[in-house]
Amino acid sequence: MICRACLCARGALHNLQALSSRGLRQATQRSTSLPAAVSTRSLSTYFLPQAQLAHSPVRGRQLFSTSSPTASAPAEPQEAAESAPSTAPQKPTYLSEGESKVWDLLMAEFAPTQLVVQDISGGCGSMYGIEVCSEKFRGLNMLKQQRMVNAALGDLVKEWHGVQLNTRAPPQTPTQTRKHTYKHTHAMAPARGSKAGAAPRGWAHTPSTPLLLWLGVSLPLVAWDTAYMLLRPLTMPGGSLHWPLWVPYALYGEVDGMYGFKQWHLRNPFAAAQSLLNLVESLLYLLYLALWWSNGRQATPGARRSIGGRLGAATALLGFSAAVMTVSKTILYWVLEYCSGWDNIGQNDLYSLIVLWIIPNGAWIVVPSIFMIYGMGAEMVEGLAQSSRPAGKDE
C-alpha cells in the first residue's frame, strides 16, 4: 500500500514533468504569479501542495526529473558538480539520511560523473528518484544499466514503494568514439602487451585456478607421452632415445600392453592415432591460453584477467571443445579395453591396476569434466541466458 504522502508526491512530480515537457517559457507566460526567470527548482516548490511541503523535511528541494535543467536556471551545488563530467560529483550537504545512504552505495559501485538522489515520497523515504551517469554503463542497453543499479541497491530497494531510474553513459569525445569503434571491432581487446585495462562489461570468461593448474601439469605430461608414442621404437627399452627421458615407460609398458612391445609387434595403429589426436588437443589448449593471456583484461592490478565480448566467447568455446576431446578420447581408451576383454591390462594385480592405470588415466576424465566441461559450460549457458532474456523480464 502506498502512503498518502507518496501519492501527493507522485501527483506533484507528474505536474512538474508536464510543465517541463511544454517548456519553461510557455509555463511562465500562463502564470502571471510566477517570476519571468523562474527555475525548475522553484517550479517544484510552487506546485507542491502546502500539506506536502510541511511533510517534506527539506522545502524547495529539486524533485527528480528526467528532463535537462533550463539554461536560465541558476547553477546549484548539485548541478554545478554535474556540469563537470570529468570529475566526481561532490556529495550535497542537504541529503537526508536515506538519500545519503543511497548516494554512498551508488558512488562506491559506479564512480559516476553525475549523480542525483532525491526522496520523492514527501519525506517518508518510500520512493526515490535516481539519476546516474557512469562510464560503467558504456555499451549496455537501458535494461542492463538499470539492473546494475537495482543489484547495487540490493535489499534496500525492496523496502520502497517505487523508484524512478535514469541511467546513461557520459557523452563521448571524438577520440573516445574512435577508440570505442576499434575496441568493438576487435572484441574489446587491449593493446598487445598491456596487462591492465577496463574490465570486460557484461559476460566474461575467467579461467579458474584448478583449470590453470591442471593445464600447467597435464600439458607437459601429454607432450612427454605423445613424443614417446610417436618416436617408437627409439623411445622404448633398448632404443637410442630411451634413456634418460623415457625410462619410466619400461615399467608402464608392462602395465599397459598398448605402450609395450606387445602391440608394437602387432603393428596396432590405435596408440599412434590417439597420440596424433593428443597433439591436436594440446595445440587447442595452447591456443586457448594464448588468446586469454593476450586479450584478457584485469579489473584491478593483480587481479586475474578476464576476456569478454565475441572473442571471449570464442576462447571459452575453444577450451570447452578441447576438454570434451580430452574426456572422449580417454573414455574411448577405457571402452577399447573393455571390448577387447582387458587384453592390455588384464595381467595386472588389483593394486597395480588401480595405482598405475585407473588413477592416472581416470584423472584425464574427472578433472576436465568438472573444471572445464562443467565449469566453462555453465559460464557459456549463463552468457546465452543473459543474451536471450526477454526485454523487461528480470529472472
Residue 318's nearest CA partner among 283, 279, 351 is 283
pLDDT digits (tens, 9 = 90+) for 112-141: 999 998 888 777 888 888 999 998 888 888
Rounded CA-CA distance 64/118 in Å is 6
The enclosing H or E element of 100 equals helix 97-110
Mind giving me the DSSP string for 346-393?
TTS-HHHHIIIIIHHHHHHHHHHIIIIIIHHHHHHHHHHHHHHSPTT-
What is the 3-state composition of the chain as percent helix, strand, coil, each rounded to the nearest 5?
A: 55, 5, 35
Residue 192's nearest CA partner among 287, 285, 290 is 290
What residues does 307 pair with on adjacent strands?
Answer: 205
pLDDT digits (tens, 9 = 90+) for 77-123: 444 444 444 567 888 888 888 888 898 989 998 999 999 988 887 77
Q: Indicate the pTM of the whole model.
A: 0.53
Q: Domains in the chain, start-ordered, CATH in brackets?
A: 4-64+75-168 (3.30.300.90), 204-388 (no CATH)
Rounded CA-CA distance 189/181 in Å is 12
Rounded CA-CA distance 189/380 in Å is 19
Residue 31 has pLDDT above 80, yes or no: no
Would you state the cell numbers that stand for residue 199, as one nine-digit string?
574490465
Q: Give, in order, the Cα–Cα distances in Å from 260 to each of 252, 254, 269.
A: 8, 6, 13
User: Which of 50 and 325 is assigned the larger pLDDT?
Assistant: 325
